[in-house]
Amino acid sequence: MKAEIPAAKGPRRRRADQSTAEAARPPAFRPLQLAALVDSVPAGNRWLHEMKYDGYRVLLAVGGGEARAYTRSGLDWSEKFSGLVEAAADLSVGRALIDGEAVVLDQEGRSNFQALQWALKGAPESIEFFAFDLLELDGEDLTQLPLVERKKRLAKILTHASSRLHYSDHIVGNGEKLLAGFCEAGLEGVISKQAEGRYVGSRNGGWLKTKCIKRQEFVVVGWTPSQTSRLFRSLILAVHNEGELKYAGKVGTGFGIEEIQRLMALMKPLEQSEPAVKAPRAEVRGAHWLRPMLVAEIAFTEMTNEGTLRHPSYLGQREDKKPEAVVLETEARTSSLRPASTSVKISNRERVIFPESQITKGQLADYYAAVAPIMLPWLGSRPMSMVRCPQGRAKKCFFQKHDAGSFGETVRQVGIAEKDGHEEPYLYVDTPEGLLTCVQMGTIEFHGWGARIEDVEKADRLVFDLDPDEGLDFENVRSAAFQFRDILKSIGLETFPMLTGGKGVHVIAPLVPKAEWHDVKDFAHRLAQAVAQADPAHFTAALPKAQRKGRIFVDYLRNQRGATAVMPYSARARDGAPVAAPVTWKEMEAIDKPSHFHVGDEKELIKRAASKALSGWGRADQVLPDL
C-alpha cells in the first residue's frame, strides 16, 4: 500500500475553500421515488396526473457549470446521455438535481423505447428529457416540500432551457379520462402522484402507475433456432418470482433484422449447456441456453395461470436494469391502497419486546411506521438480513436472510447466485407495508448489503465499523472516527458518521456503484491493516477477539459480497431499544454515546432528517480510489 497513513488530528472543521468547492459540484445521486402498479387511476383532486413516458429514468445533477446523468440504480451514464448533460450544464442555476425520463419521440410525438435504444447506439442528438421533479436547488433540499411546489420551481428553471429539456406538465383530477385519451393515442399510460406529497426515495404509495398495455422487463435465458434465414426464432424469457427465476414463455415478434443480429452477438458469449429455468420440453425443443445476463422489455396482453405470456412483443433491451432486479410486477387494486400503519395488522401489540424499558411490539411497530419515509431510501431495494426476536429481545433471537414464503407478498425476494452457482432467494423490502410486515413477524433489527438489487455485484458504499474492546469508553471511539475521517479524506473519500445503537460508530463512504466486490474488500482490508500497523496501540484488524484487547477493531468485513451492516434508523435488540442514527461530524464532537437515540425518538429523528445539516448525509459522487 502506497501513501503514508496520516496521524490522528482529532475533530477539525473543513477549510472554507473545500466547502465552497463541494457546494459547486453537481449533487450526488440519491434513491428515486418509484411508482406502484395499480389497476385504475385514483380519483379525487388530491392526485395530479402526468404522462407515463417510454424511456429511461434519469437523474440530472447540475453544479459548477457541469452536469451528470445517473440511471435509476446510480450508475453514471453521462457519456451515453452527453447531449442531455450538455443542455443541463447550461441551465441558469447554481446547483440542481432533476428527476425525469430520457426519451426519443416519434413522428407523432410519442416516446418510443425502441427508438431510444437505437439513439443510444448512434444518434444521441435525438434524445430528449422530460423533467417531472426537482429534488435540490441551489443548496436547498426540496424533498420535504409538497410536489406542487417542487414542480412550480422546476417549471421556472426550465422556462428558457434547451429544446432538449422539457417540463412534464400535469392535470389535477380527471385521471381516468386522461388515461382513456392516452390509451387511444397509443401512449403507455398515466403516472398519478399525491399533489401534497413529499419526495421519498422508495415505493411508498405516493406515486402510482396505470398502464394502457401490460409490459415489463424479463430476463433472457435462451433462444430457439429459426427454420428460415432468421438467426433465431424466439427468445426464451424468465422472471424472478418468490425468489426463484421462473419460465415466462417465449417472444418471437418485434425484432428487425438489425436487432436480431445485434442480439445474437450479445448472446453468443453467454451460451451454456444447462438451462437456468425449468421449462416445458415441447416449448423449448432445440433451445440454446444462456447465462441469465440480458434483460428485455416485453409488451403482452396477459399472463396465464401457468405464468407464461400471451401475445408477447419485444420492445428492446434494458441496459439500465440488472437481471437480479427483474421481478414479477402485479397490479394492486387502487381501492385497497391504505397507509401501512392500517393495512398491516400488528398482532399482540401489548407484548413487551424490551423488558428493561417496557417497550411493546405495538410501540416498535409505530416507530417503524413513522420512520419508514426516512429509512426506506437506505434500506429499500437492498438485500437484507433481519434480527428476529418473536418473543422479545430477552428470549431467542436469530438472523434471517432467506424465506420460504411465510412473509407474504409485501416482503419481496430476489434470487442471488451463491458461490457454488445456485441461486438463493434473498429478502428485501421497498414499501412501508413490507417493513411493517417484518415487524409483525418479530423483526427488531434490519441489516443491509452494501449494494442494491439493481446491481448486487457493485458496491454503493464502504463501511468501517469501529468496534471497541470491552472497557474502552466512547471517547476512544470518537477519536478513532475522526482519525478515519481524516485518513479517508486524504485519499479523496468523503465520509459520514453513523451511531450504530450498539457499542461503536460506522464511518461510511458512499460510492457510485462501479467497483466490484473483490476490489472493495481488498481496498477495505489493506486500509484497515495499514491503520492498525501505523497505530497498533489503538487499532487492530485481527479477527480473533483475544488480539483485540484494549484496542478498537477495524471491522472491514462489512465490505464483502453478502455481508451486511445495520441500516440507518434500525432499532437494535439491546437494552433501552436504541436505534442506529446518522449524525454530522460536528455532532460527533460532543455526542455522548452510540446509543444516544432510541425507539420513541421518531419525531426528533424525522425532524433531524429534514434539517439542512443532514440533508446531504450519506451522499457523495465518488468512486473507489487507487491505493
- Phi/psi at 241 (nearest 5 deg)? -140, 125
Burial 65-77 (b: 16+ CB within 10 A, else e): eebbbbbbbbbbb
Nearest-angstrom CA–CA distance, 121 and 602: 48
DSSP SS3 for 429 = coil
DSSP SS3 for 532 = helix
Nearest one of 60, 78, 286 to 157, comparing CA atoms:
60
Give the H or E element holding residue 97.
Answer: strand 95-103
Give the H or E element holding residue 183.
Answer: helix 175-184
Tell me what percent of the chain is helix, strand and coil, each rounded to the nearest 5. 25, 30, 45
- Phi/psi at 291 (nearest 5 deg)? -65, 135
Catalytic annotation, pick one of 2, 52, 211, 214? 52
Nearest-angstrom CA–CA distance, 169 and 178: 13
Distances (CA, A) of 602 to 343, 372, 567, 607: 20, 10, 15, 8
Nearest-angstrom CA–CA distance, 95 and 86: 14
DSSP string, 469-523: PTT--HHHHHHHHHHHHHHHHHTT---EEEE-SSSSEEEEEE--TTSBHHHHHHH
**9 labelled catalytic:** no
Give the H or E element holding residue 147.
Answer: helix 147-157
User: Residues with catalytic annotation?
Assistant: 52
